[in-house]
Structure 1
């Protein structure tokens, strides 16, 4: 029998939306300020998930200038069997200042999960986290959080539902306010509608994005309600089962809800499916803090729990509890697929670089990065500083483990101190470390140094930069539970030379960065990256021979 080991998608893969079409399963996840936007994963056994495509990769959404943690939020996948179309709804959070949360929501469709997708169809700006429900009678509905900004009103607002005409692209009639949540945890969001045995079930995320997160549920005989809360009055899935009253709190980390008896934390934001074998599962987000801390560098990851329906028609976890588990019983009678490695290796010997590469605040596919100008290498043309939220030139992959080795080999010939190229760790534009080659005016040659950004402050780490006379260096970063060792060598046969040992980089985590005021920090995740900067003439480039991340 298959055992599902959580997280099934490690590293930044939050807000999972799961569907089944015949015997295949698909999950869409949030990508925030990263492109290509909205990643799609596929599985045949629920235990092993392969990244197969992305949806937003042609500047459909402009992410330049996106502040942490805004951007592309909470994609919702659905499948309309009548038209044989996949639908995707998502929010583009464009402003969080003043807790106004200005967000535009869209829908897209395709007849093939790998695309091409339609152009985004505007739905609303009433709030965020839209989901589309295709009813049995052919009608379609959108559910979403209506964001509340008025003083004296319960935040974050109401869950609202409206009928939508997908063909003519418009909301039909008015929005119906149906609930502000089904428990006392508050912060109800991410509403998703399901139908089972004559009831409409509304599944919500609750308790905020932190340690009080959970999945809650209500039901009604009419899609517009009234909705009856689950009789327990508590979330049906959470990492912290003890009671919490936090109504009116629009969002919070709720560090007091950390559960010392659970390896999994922050379980919440669920999406339901029935398998071809008649079983029920929920995909949901989770986090894993570094042991002995409340820091979650890998961000919010995707997990799966097995569910069942009670004789009274309520959904609950298979074991009858509401505590999310790290291991779950898999589907019966389904063969396990090949276990996938989360290591990354690309020698850049083809026209396409690895599907896992992403870039922040800009489009990936505009010529600034390619494997064609110099076959066998990834060429990155330098652009703005990594502090910039407009066109930084870096390529990154999600960190998926607390222990790993990251290596690359770079060739770079700068002629100005504002030209750099190298590799490092990246959370957002205010928080990263970067070991790089650059030009030294004092020596007239190329040298190596380390630059660090912490909460927006710029720091040069080495007082004595290392000469790199040929402009070629192999770089290595070893990450161990929030500490980083940085090394280099100038020839393939030389021993590795230590540049910096035990650098404290634990702040490169959801709780350690400086997100928008009022937020706990961020809720994205740590990335490994290679990149280049040219704040001089925008005429330099760096060539990378390979990219390797090996998890321990």
Structure 2
């Protein structure tokens, strides 16, 4: 019997929201400070998923200056049978300062899952993680976390429900607080309503985005509650099934909940669906830490668990436990395994996988038409910038891989650079780059690093590149990076071995003690910088990321 193996979408693909359209499945995931916004993945067999589109790809959303990990959170896909439209609702987290968490909820709709999508309709700023439910009587409801800021009240807040007008975004009924959690894990968020057996089922994420994460469920005959918790009073899906009392903790990492007996960690934030085989499944996020650590460089990935309904109308995992699994049997055929390598020779337009932090991809700074067969990137802000860095990046999807590129660059000033590297956010990256040496009056290859916002210059690693053309390679192995170069198809020359890059992970970046520092994930990139005149450019002949599983 075929097996579905998790994660089904490796690398940054958190907060999955899944729907089935006939025999095709679609998953939308969060993108935070990255453009294009809101990834859409497609599958016909639940096992193999391909990135096919984004919801916002023309700069419709402004992310300039966004702090990690704010931006676009937790998109929710749904289908309204009354008007035969697809709906996607999401949070735009504008600011996280002071734990105020200023987020605006918008929805867009389309006649086709691939668009075109409507202009965003504003709904509320009460909190984040919104979801729409289209009831069979034609009414529509919005569920969301009401973010709590008051001292002395249980954080992060209550799950609330209101009837809404989809056309205007108007909140029709008063917000009704229905629960602040069905277990003692706390940190309830991501509420979603489903209807079955004449019950409304409310599925929520709990335990925070760290090692205590899980999926909880309650049910009610009335959409406004009261909601009866699952009889177990525990999550129905989690990586850490031990009991936890954590009410009032707003979102800690809960490193004490790490499960040493599981590859999968942080399973939570689920989206329920019925598959082609008639069975029920939950798509959910998960993480995989580096061996021997609690560091997760690949961020939160997407997995699936097989579920079942009990005789008394409760949802549970198919094997009767609540421990998320790395694989399970599937009754229908599964196609050939999809490769997550990125191979782009820039013969036409660059591939869909390329994403950019903080800014949209526009032809005035990145294009393939000015020099056919090459990706031309005009340099602007430094890699520390949260406004206009010229970075073209793809999600890291493995613990072992090589990045390779060929670049031509002719800098005239030391503040002009171009090269390749790995990137978590504006404060955390490693960059193998060409630049100008005044001392040598030549183009040189050197290394820059950002670690928790500190700039580190590798002054003892500088190599003259005679004609400004060089092939570059970065080898990532279980959190450590080695850098190489070659000229005119010579043998690869090693510049440096085993830079510790383990900090480029959700737990390693600028977090408070006990907290997750980020929840986006590691990216591979090529880039150009020009803080001199914003005029120089680099031409990249190819870009390969080859995974070594």
TM-score with structure 1 length normalisation?
Answer: 0.98
Deviation for aligned residue 1:295: 0.4
Partner of 2:262: 262
Q: Secondary structure at the match of 2:173?
A: strand
The 4+ residue runs of structure 1 with deviation greater than 4 A are 515-519
Q: Does 1:211 align with 2:211?
A: yes
Count residues in correspondence: 548
CA distance in 1, matches of 2:342, 2:526: 13
Q: What does the per-residue CA deviation read over 1:49-90, in whole Å, with 9 as the maximum and x for residues that have no partner?
A: 111000112222211111111111000001112222110010
Q: Does 1:391 align with 2:422?
A: no
Deviation for aligned residue 1:367: 2.5
Please tell me whether the aligned partners of residues 16 and 285 of structure 2 are also in contact (alpha carbons under 8 angstroms).
Answer: yes
1:217-296 alignment to 2 at 5 Å? 217-296=217-296
Q: Does 1:76 align with 2:76?
A: yes
Partner of 1:495: 491
CA distance in 1, matches of 2:134, 2:457: 55
CA distance in 2, matches of 1:384, 1:119: 30
CA distance in 2, matches of 1:482, 1:505: 5
Q: Does 1:471 align with 2:468?
A: yes
Partner of 1:49: 49
Please tell me whether the aligned partners of residues 21 and 79 of structure 1 are also in contact (alpha carbons under 8 angstroms).
Answer: no
CA distance in 1, matches of 2:375, 2:138: 48
Please tell me whether the aligned partners of residues 121 and 168 of structure 2 are also in contact (alpha carbons under 8 angstroms).
Answer: no
Q: Given the superposition, is the C-alpha separation of residues 81 and 131 from structure 1 closer, same or farther in structure 2, using an over 3 Å criterion?
A: same
Q: Does 1:367 align with 2:349?
A: no
Q: Secondary structure at the match of 1:92?
A: strand
CA distance in 2, matches of 1:472, 1:209: 44
Deviation for aligned residue 1:339: 1.9
CA distance in 1, matches of 2:458, 2:508: 20
1:37-186 alignment to 2 at 5 Å? 37-186=37-186
Q: What does the per-residue CA deviation read over 1:82-138, in whole Å, with 9 as the maximum and x for residues that have no partner?
A: 222110010011111110000011001111111211111111000000000111111
Q: Secondary structure at the match of 2:253?
A: coil
Q: Secondary structure at the match of 1:256?
A: helix
Please tell me whether the aligned partners of residues 64 and 361 of structure 1 are also in contact (alpha carbons under 8 angstroms).
Answer: yes
1:340-359 alignment to 2 at 5 Å? 340-350=338-348, 352-359=349-356
Q: Does 1:409 align with 2:406?
A: yes
Deviation for aligned residue 1:366: 4.5
Q: Secondary structure at the match of 2:251?
A: coil
CA distance in 2, matches of 1:85, 1:355: 25
CA distance in 1, matches of 2:153, 2:461: 57
Q: Does 1:511 align with 2:534?
A: no
Partner of 2:418: 421
Q: What does the per-residue CA deviation read over 1:500-522, in whole Å, with 9 as the maximum and x for residues that have no partner?
A: 10100000000000158984200
Q: Given the superposition, is the C-alpha separation of residues 89 and 174 from structure 1 closer, same or farther in structure 2, using an over 3 Å criterion?
A: same
Q: What does the per-residue CA deviation read over 1:7-66, in whole Å, with 9 as the maximum and x for residues that have no partner?
A: 000001000001111111110000111100100001111111111000112222211111
Equivalent of 1:534 in 518, 530, 537:
530
Unaligned runs of 5+ in 1: none
Partner of 1:325: 325
Please tell me whether the aligned partners of residues 255 and 514 of structure 2 are also in contact (alpha carbons under 8 angstroms).
Answer: no
Please tell me whether the aligned partners of residues 304 and 328 of structure 1 are also in contact (alpha carbons under 8 angstroms).
Answer: no
Q: What does the per-residue CA deviation read over 1:200-244, in whole Å, with 9 as the maximum and x for residues that have no partner?
A: 000000000000000000000011101000000000000000000
Unaligned runs of 5+ in 2: none
Deviation for aligned residue 1:182: 0.3
Please tell me whether the aligned partners of residues 76 and 131 of structure 1 are also in contact (alpha carbons under 8 angstroms).
Answer: yes
CA distance in 2, matches of 1:69, 1:120: 22
Please tell me whether the aligned partners of residues 13 and 29 of structure 1 are also in contact (alpha carbons under 8 angstroms).
Answer: yes
Please tell me whether the aligned partners of residues 69 and 516 of structure 1 are also in contact (alpha carbons under 8 angstroms).
Answer: no
CA distance in 2, matches of 1:62, 1:24: 31
Could you tell which deviates more after superposition, 113-122 or 371-380? 113-122
Q: Secondary structure at the match of 1:98?
A: helix
CA distance in 2, matches of 1:48, 1:460: 41
Please tell me whether the aligned partners of residues 57 and 365 of structure 1 are also in contact (alpha carbons under 8 angstroms).
Answer: no
Partner of 1:435: 432
Could you tell which deviates more after superposition, 108-117 or 432-441? 108-117
Q: What does the per-residue CA deviation read over 1:440-469, in whole Å, with 9 as the maximum and x for residues that have no partner?
A: 111111001000000000011242410001
Please tell me whether the aligned partners of residues 380 and 541 of structure 1 are also in contact (alpha carbons under 8 angstroms).
Answer: yes
Q: Secondary structure at the match of 1:129?
A: strand
Please tell me whether the aligned partners of residues 10 and 298 of structure 2 are also in contact (alpha carbons under 8 angstroms).
Answer: yes
Please tell me whether the aligned partners of residues 254 and 514 of structure 2 are also in contact (alpha carbons under 8 angstroms).
Answer: no
Partner of 2:444: 447
CA distance in 1, matches of 2:267, 2:328: 14
CA distance in 2, matches of 1:460, 1:399: 24
CA distance in 1, matches of 2:461, 2:120: 51
Please tell me whether the aligned partners of residues 200 and 223 of structure 2 are also in contact (alpha carbons under 8 angstroms).
Answer: yes
